[in-house]
Structure 1
Amino acid sequence: MDDSTQDGVTLYGPASWEGPVHRYGPVARVAVLSDIHANIPAFEAVLAEPDVATADLVVLLGDLTWGPQPQETYERILALGERALCVRGNADRYAAEIGTAERVAGTPRQSWIAAQHSPEAIGFLTRVPFAVVVEIDGLGPVHFCHGSPRSDHELVTPGTPSERFTSLSAALDTRVLVTGHTHLQFDRVVAGLRSVNPGSVGLPYHSAEPGTAYWALLGPDVQLRTTHYDVSDAVARARLAADPDAERYVDTLMNPPVPEKIVAQAESLIFVE
């Protein structure tokens, strides 16, 4: 990993094997799904949406397999074939590092999650790039990354001040930045750029009913979308999988934090693994 620091914080940017950001398109429609967190019922429900099924590309915005059904999530991503473009989340980095013995697991759940991946799945995670750029009709080139353009664990929220946004986006050559990580859905203009987060498919922070998955459709504009799924199935699968953190995961599904609280907390922390 080519890491640097920001105010004493380690930044986790592109890996050492990565060259310039890969660019794709032009295309008409892109479905953006972020923070799946191995919630298979939510993932499958969103993939079944007609606008996702017919999109030219499906950008998966990181934190793919860190949850109760990681191997199954990996297999469904593979089934999307060349339509799927993945970017690396901080949780994907953790899983890959633990799975390759580059990092020692710090909790029983970290060990458990890494062990649920096949060697092929771990290998896949080690190859996921930090960011991609896609030329989209009506929007032009769009930069996709998990946290921010400078680190996979920097938090970008609807409350991020223009000064910090200007700093984190300084290297961009696009007018639209799409990020995940905060599990919050939003679309705003800040510091002269458009900042979009599709929200989380598998573990969203929101004030709607449990069993709501969040995503976005890009082209020719930005459409923020939701999909309802069987949350009781997700709860049952988490418990059946013997996820060591199943009850906390279930509590977040059934009693998600409200966005206002998350924004305040995120802006006080800025970087969160």
Structure 2
Amino acid sequence: MNVLALYDIHGNVDALEAVLAAAPTPDLVLVGGDALPGPFARATLDRLAELPTRWIRGNGERETAEALDGPEPAADDLAAVTAKRNAGELGAALVRPLGELPLTTEIDGVLYCHATPRDDAEILTRISPEERYAEALSGVTASIVVAGHTHQQHDRTVGGVRFLNAGSVGLPYEGDGAARWLWVADGVPELRATPYDAAATGERMKAIWPDVMSIDAALVAPVPALEITKLFEQRARPAT
């Protein structure tokens, strides 16, 4: 089976369209979590609904679903603010099922998760120590694990398990704005990138979306990838 794995779209429908135009025609589109929150979430969900998809849950879907019944967030908590905004815009009928998606799925021997197989928000980066990888992957029987969450592609093998981060379609922290994705042909993964006018898209997103810092860092004035990697590594926490 040919699988197009799309992670961390975050409502960037322009990037999604660029990837779909560049990618071969898949048998299945694996939506790896964090399709939302984002500025053009409804358009993103509508576009994905036209495709043969299988979804897993990211922390974005979980947090947006939790925001349906949650209190108004503090103004400086942008993750909560954006989740609450999409929850209100999209409504419970669309959002609640997204929060109930499975944490993992397996296709052709490849195990797909959002962050790690045990947690949708655990951080593993390009520079995380092997010990943390080994702990996060403990009990995994698949030889290949695909994740996202950090918005950076990487490919590590620890203890016989190959761990690939598919990168982010919509907010890639790679220093160049290009959308990242993964093509998996009969269980064999290949990391790919698609350039598009990310700066123009970023400006369009900033006009309606409060998380300006993330959009600038990913799309408009991309921050060097290693700076982001080090920042995420400082924030890494064990699963709860």
Structure 2: tracts of 5 or more residues without a match:
76-80
Query: Is residue 87 of structure 2 the alignment partner of residue 114 of structure 1?
Result: yes
Q: Tell me the distance in 1 between the aligned counterparts of 2:151 and 2:32.
A: 11
Q: Which amino acid aligns with 1:244?
A: P
Match of 1:229 among 196, 212, 221: 196
TM-score scaled by length of structure 1: 0.78
Q: Tell me the distance in 2 between the aligned counterparts of 1:149 and 1:265.
A: 22
Partner of 1:194 in structure 2? 162
TM-score scaled by length of structure 2: 0.88
Deviation at 1:107, TM superposition (A): 3.6
Q: Which amino acid aligns with 2:209?
A: D
Kept in 2, the 8 Å contact 1:87–1:129? The answer is yes
Q: Which amino acid aligns with 1:251?
A: D
Segments of 4+ moved more than 6 angstroms: none
Partner of 2:46 in structure 1? 75
Match of 1:126 among 99, 113, 117: 99
Deviation at 1:271, TM superposition (A): 3.1
Query: Is residue 231 of structure 2 the alignment partner of residue 265 of structure 1?
Result: yes
Deviation at 1:232, TM superposition (A): 4.5
Match of 2:13 among 20, 40, 45: 40
Match of 2:67 among 98, 117, 122: 98
Deviation at 1:134, TM superposition (A): 0.7
Deviations 1:210-232 (A, max 9, x none): 3x100111125321111122324
Deviation at 1:269, TM superposition (A): 2.3
Partner of 1:6 in structure 2? none
Partner of 2:148 in structure 1? 180
Query: Is residue 191 of structure 2 the alignment partner of residue 218 of structure 1?
Result: no
Match of 2:134 among 166, 171, 176: 166
Kept in 2, the 8 Å contact 1:41–1:233? The answer is no
Deviation at 1:168, TM superposition (A): 0.9
RMSD: 2.1
Deviation at 1:40, TM superposition (A): 0.8
Kept in 2, the 8 Å contact 1:112–1:244? The answer is no
Q: Which amino acid aligns with 2:59?
A: N
Q: Which amino acid aligns with 2:65?
A: A
Report the secondary structure of 2:43's partner residue: helix
Corresponding residue pairs, total: 231
Deviations 1:91-146 (A, max 9, x none): 111101112x0x324245333232221333213313321111111xxxxx111111
Q: Which amino acid aligns with 1:76?
A: R
Deviation at 1:165, TM superposition (A): 1.2
Partner of 2:221 in structure 1? 255
Kept in 1, the 8 Å contact 2:62–2:100? The answer is no
Report the secondary structure of 2:90's partner residue: coil
Q: Tell me the distance in 2 between the aligned counterparts of 1:181 and 1:204.
A: 10
Kept in 2, the 8 Å contact 1:71–1:121? The answer is no
Which is strand-richer, 1 or 2? 1
Query: Is residue 166 of structure 2 the alignment partner of residue 205 of structure 1?
Result: no
Deviation at 1:244, TM superposition (A): 2.7
- Give the % identical residues: 33
Partner of 2:34 in structure 1? 63
Report the secondary structure of 1:217's partner residue: strand
Q: Do the aligned partners of residues 180 and 43 (structure 1) sit closer, same or farther apart at CA in structure 2, a change above 3 Å counting?
A: same
